[in-house]
Amino acid sequence: MKTALSALLSLVLTQIALAQPAVPAAPHTEIISSPSLSFMPPHDMVDRVMSEDPTVLRAGAMLKSAQAEARGREAGPHEFTAHGEYVTRATNLEGRLDEWTAGISRGIRLPGKAQADGKIGAYGIAVAENGFGDARHQAATLLKTLWLGWVMAEAEDRLAQDEVAGYERQQKAAARSRQLGQSATLQVEQVEAALAQARAAAALSMQSREDARMTLRRTFPSLTLPPAPPAMPEPAPPPGEWTEWRNAVLDDNHEIKMARSEADRRTWLARRASLDKFADPTLDLRTFQERSGHETGFGIGFSMPIGGALRSAAEDQAAAEATAASVAAHKALRDVEIVADRDVILARQGLQAWQQSQAAAASSRQMTARMQRAYELGDQGLTELLIAQRQDFDVRRGELRARGAAHGAVLQLMIDAHRIWSLGDE
């Protein structure tokens, strides 16, 4: 008796466990040290804002839907159906007679269909789990893009304000020199034209800064922006070899896994449609009473649809969809290979481009400083100095953009490799 109760309790606990939706385990987090992460939001904040992203919330709901569908397929499409009938009739010989029938019926899955339903449900959960992971990946990419865009816009705005301040100082000096009769009106007008142009560029940079800040705040409302925008350090390659990062993008990619799981799910759906060419039979148990109880009985009924063109067409449709899903899985692998190669190319070449821009900015600063001294000594004219200053700010602006592009490429490589922000597999 004790053994039977233990077996029954074990069975009940197993059914309860199966009925609960699967909860993804905590993702593995690997600590990565990189200058590109130093000015990004802290990990806990990133994890919170990603979990609140609408796309991630939708993917979480779809995962629960897939888990519920899997439980439904495990239970099967058939349920018990109770049926009955009561009739009262009158005859000339026997008077009024009460008659009734009652019964219960249920369809029975043919062999192989339960296994197919289980596989379809399991692969459906795999598709939804990888869809959830991909949604987090997309949210991380969006956060990286908007945060970096805001930091870049703030830095460009500061640079534009510095340019305006420099021309304002020069304009005051030129106006003072004119009052003292040391410079011509044309020189003052040259400085004022340069100042007006710098102010126009500063107005545009301020517009870009406000737009970047607004977009970031509206997209991630719970994201806390620091009082002052963080400064971007000098970018550096991610730790390890470039080949290792490329392989990491391919080895841990939700798009590939989702496409493969969908192909497997479609394959089992096609197999299920093939099995459905032979419909499930329905057994019917019934009892009845006729002639007010003078006749009673018990019977067993059997029914089974005869498959035809409809079921054959459903099989062909499922087979074609399985083929299409298989092709899509191969395409997903090819697309991700392109992404992996592009990530490495952009990160590597972006760092090299920044190094060249940094060298150009250093040379430009030295040249501008020499032009300033030459102008003060009277060896160079104002026109040449203004051209040199404008070129210097353009070079500094180019270095800033190259720096941001290098950081963005390194961050994207680390995001696509799922090596930061809890993006690894559950």
CATH architecture assigned to 36-416: Up-down Bundle (1.20)
Q: In the chain, which residues have pLDDT < 50? A: 1-29
Sign, Cα dihedral of 378, 380, 384, 386: negative
- Return the pLDDT at 425: 52
CA distance 96 to 101: 17
Cα-trace Rg, the chain: 37
DSSP state of 395: H
Quick one: CA torsion of 258, 263, 264, 269, rounded to 10 degrees? 120
DSSP state of 291: G
3-state SS, 74-142, equals: HHCCCCCEEEEEEEEEEECCCEEEEEEEEEEEEECCCCCHHHHHHHHHHHHHHHHHHHHHHHHHHHHHH
**144 touches 412 (CB < 8 A):** yes
Contacts of 303 (CB under 8 A, 6+ apart): 281, 282, 284
pTM to 2 decimals? 0.82
- Return the pLDDT at 181: 58
